[in-house]
Amino acid sequence: MGKRNLTKQIPILGVPLILSLVGCGEESLPIRGPVRPWDSVTVERYITSAGEAEDVQRSVQWALSPEPTLELGANHGGDSHLFGLVRGGVMLPDGGIVVADVHESALVYFDERGGLRTVAGGPGEGPGEFELLFWLGECAPDSIYAYDAGLGRASVFSTQGEFERSFPLVAPGGVPVDPPRCSTEGLLVAKGFPTWEDAPEVGRWVPEIPIFILDGGGKADSIIAAFPYRDYIGRGSEPISSPLASEAFVEVFRERLFLAYSDRYEIGVFSLDGTPSAVFGLDLPLRPVSSEDSEAYVEENVEGLEGPVAQRWGSFLTEHIPEHFPFFDRVLAVSNGDIWVRRYPSSIDENHWWDVFSGTGGFPYIGSIQVPRAFDIFQVRDGLVAGQWVGEFDEDRIRVYRLQYMEEANSR
């Protein structure tokens, strides 16, 4: 597998600071687990022990089909659409797929066989155009929502690629700090900005953010006043995201909101008015960061940098790498309401491990699936798994696999 240029994965707030990382020898202060809204109220707790999870894994595991049912972006004889930089996709009810291409500032529509249907959008500030295409989702029946982080607005397209309307996404403190999540009922949930003025001069810091909900017209209502956002290294008014940072994750499915902060393996369940109702997860031990893990992480994140800049950035990362990994780095609601949680991968892991929880009846742990490191899942729908695949020459592709039970996979 070709190596990905991971310098573009450096957190946005950290990029301008690379050049100024001189004399960063301050002592890192230990972080204390931030408070969640469900910590101070009585809710149902459904936490599966490590032993119980191992028993389930032995009996219920899934696998991807040996070959993808669909692949986009591969250059087979020059007749396939080649992507610039993919920022996710959506599987459509009719079997087609829409892909967000950041370099083209466009949504690329394909039919169920991978044939190109149409290209919507383009660079610009006009109706249906994008300055910085950042995310897309199926946020209402027969509608695709695309978020433009540069213009701070969502644009709505039909499943056939026709532009319908746009509206601003306004969060406390500005535009959403991260891409929003949405439900097929037309609701978007997003994170507001932290207050950077509260950042300490030194030490680890976890700012709080509001969680807010928007209707299909962009009307916002803050439903949770304070939720932990991300593990930062305090540098006064210019904090920088910690390496291997714990962070907040937001997901929504129908009338349920899921919130989590990854320094605990707990996912909180909320109603859409912000009231917590349950917590589920796994009681797993912390995973230590080995010297091999640390070296591989630093090597990935200085790739593309040279000379003193690479040396300073590498030294900063090495100094601030925590003793333990966060528990997870993705929370995904799938089409049947189940919740998939991806355990935080090391840079040396060959596969990504996803835990699967039932979306009904106490959120029990119901199995797991491991997928190749090169495959970044963005949607699971009706037994199909779609995601971004990094090709041999660092090119972006889209692949769709069929989901099957492990015993079915082993019998082939």
Nearest Cα residue to 345 out of 357, 359, 355, 332: 355
Question: How many Å from the N-terminal Cα to the C-terminal Cα in the chain?
Answer: 25
Task: Provide the pLDDT for residue 84.
Answer: 87
Cβ proximity of 399 and 386 under 8 Å:
yes
Distance between CA atoms of residues 341 and 335, nearest Å: 14
- CB-neighbour burial class of residue 281 (10 A; exposed 0-12, middle 13-18, buried 19+): buried
Q: Does the pLDDT value for residue 14 go beyond 60?
A: no
- Please state which CATH number belongs to domain 6-410: 2.120.10.30
Helices (H), ranges, 62-210: none
More confident residue, 32 or 116: 116
Lowest model confidence (mean pLDDT) among 78-82, 152-156, 193-197, 356-360: 78-82
Percent helix, strand and coil across the chain, each to the nearest 5: 15, 40, 45
Taking residue 71's Cβ as centre, other Cβ atoms within 10 Å add up to 17
Q: What is the pLDDT of residues 148-169, one digit of tens each?
A: 999 989 999 999 999 999 998 8
What is the C-alpha separation between 131 and 347, in angstroms, rounded?
A: 32
Q: Is the pTM of this model over 0.85?
A: yes
Residue of 326 and 390 predicted with greater confidence: 326
* Model pLDDT, residue 140: 82
124 by DSSP, 3-state: which?
Answer: coil
pLDDT at residue 200, rounded to an integer:
86
Show Cβ contacts of residue 271 under 8 Å, excluding neighbours closer than 6 positions.
255, 256, 257, 277
Rounded to an integer, the average pLDDT of 24-38 is 59
pLDDT at 20: 35
Rounded Cα distance between 260 and 48, Å, is: 16
**pLDDT tens-digit profile of 293-322?**
999 999 999 998 999 999 999 999 999 999
Domain positions in the chain: 6-410
d(CA 245, CA 153): 28
> pLDDT-based confidence at 75, cuts 50/70/90?
low
Evaluate if residue 18 carries a pLDDT over 90.
no
User: What residue spans of 280-354 are helical by DSSP H?
Assistant: 291-302, 307-320
The model's pLDDT over 41-67, given as tens digits with 9 standing for 90+, comes to 999 999 999 999 999 988 889 999 999
Quick check: 242 pLDDT over 70? yes
